[in-house]
Amino acid sequence: MAYDFFTLQNTDTNSAARAGIVHTDHGDILTPIFMPVGTVGTVKGVHKRDLNEAIHAQIILGNTYHLYLRPGTQILHKAGGLHRFEGWEKPILTDSGGYQVFSLAGIRKMREEGVEFSSHIDGRKLFFTPENVMDIQREIGADIMMAFDECTPGTADYQYAKTSMERTHRWLDRCIQRFDSTEGVYGYRQHLFPIVQGCVYPQLRQEAAKRLRDLDRDGYAIGGLAVGEPEEQMYEMIEVVNDILPTGKPRYLMGVGTPWNILNAIERGVDMFDCVMPTRNGRNGQIFTWQGVMNMRNKKWEDDFSELDPQGTSYVDHEYSRAYVRHLIHSEEMLGLEILSVHNLAFYLELVRVAREHILMGDFKQWKDAVMPHITSRL
């Protein structure tokens, strides 16, 4: 029986924005979608109850590098995989560790066989190869697995970016061979996404996108963006890549970004997003709302007893005042960080949910242009 991983439901009338459904054995994912980041098996500071009932998350992320370090694949295997270990019944996506090749540049050595890391926890040596990264993700049990790649800095020169991209393609061939020759550990289907690299060079992005398109995998990721390049170059690269990637497969923009980044990328045909920004910024006192961006540390909220976000849909938006949340932040109470993390994630999920509604109605571009001045303003 044929299995369709992705159903494209509608494309916006005046843009490349798409609405679809990703089908996994742990449930359907309505796109466009934002995926909360749960690096080490938890979305930092957020209860599973809130992920389900306040945020309405449909899929969350884990990170291969961090989960391999702690708790380790032996524990995860004994637990029956990451889903059972963290008690999450919906889909999970895992990043392969390619971003750590970029972010941990000071404690890694890269060569053709793979990458040697020094653990940031205890300094022990780890060696990641395309093959063992596939094996690790099999044991983690993610529904969607990422190929092992090198995430190049946004400021890399052309020759470095080309050499890096070609290495990523050689690693991808090895990932595919290992993935296709092995089976999932826990009895459900897993899906492998190749990652389009090429930095900010259109020629390299085109070359990568064409090569990956011809592999005909279940979905595709766009990596190596929002890593130091100007926003306009990021949008240009998205357009270059999405003009080539097949329309009948989901497109995942890795590690992006602000609410306006997400709407601009949706307009250009991206379906899936993740970023640590909602929780990281929330823990630093910043929230995103339908009226604009707010720094809850500011004195202006000290005696503002209005709701956190009158237009928000999460219970935290209406149960807590701005003055109270500011008090919690200044008192360094953990509850304040939790409230802002829940709010930001709920806002991101609501943003893509409303975007999806307008794509289905065919008026996404008009809605996006109308809402953009509000969400980008600083309150």
Active site residues per annotation: 95, 274
Per-residue b or e along 88-108, where b marks 16 or more CB atoms closer than 10 Å to that residue's CB: bebbbbbbbbbbbbbebeeeb
Q: Please report, for residues 51, 276, 291, 337, 339, the alpha-carbon distance to residue 44 in angstroms, rounded to integers and kept in the order given.
A: 11, 9, 25, 10, 12
Q: Which of 282, 311, 307 is nearest to 297 (CA)?
A: 282
SS3 content of the chain, % helix, strand, coil (to 5): 45, 20, 40
CA-CA distance, 77 to 269, in Å (whole number)? 37
Q: Are 255 and 221 in contact (CB under 8 A)?
A: no
CB-CB contact of 59 with 91 (8 Å): yes
Spatial distance between the Cα atoms of 260 and 199, rounded to a whole number of angstroms: 21
Residue 279 to residues 257, 258, 290, 313, 340: CA-CA distances in angstroms?
12, 12, 17, 17, 8
* String of DSSP letters for 304-349: --SBS-TT--SHHHHHSBHHHHHHHHHTT-HHHHHHHHHHHHHHHH
203: which 2 tokens?
A: 């020629």
Helix (H, G, I), strand (E, B), or coil: what is residue 218? coil
Residues 6+ apart with CB under 8 A from 359: 10, 11, 12, 17, 18, 19, 32, 266
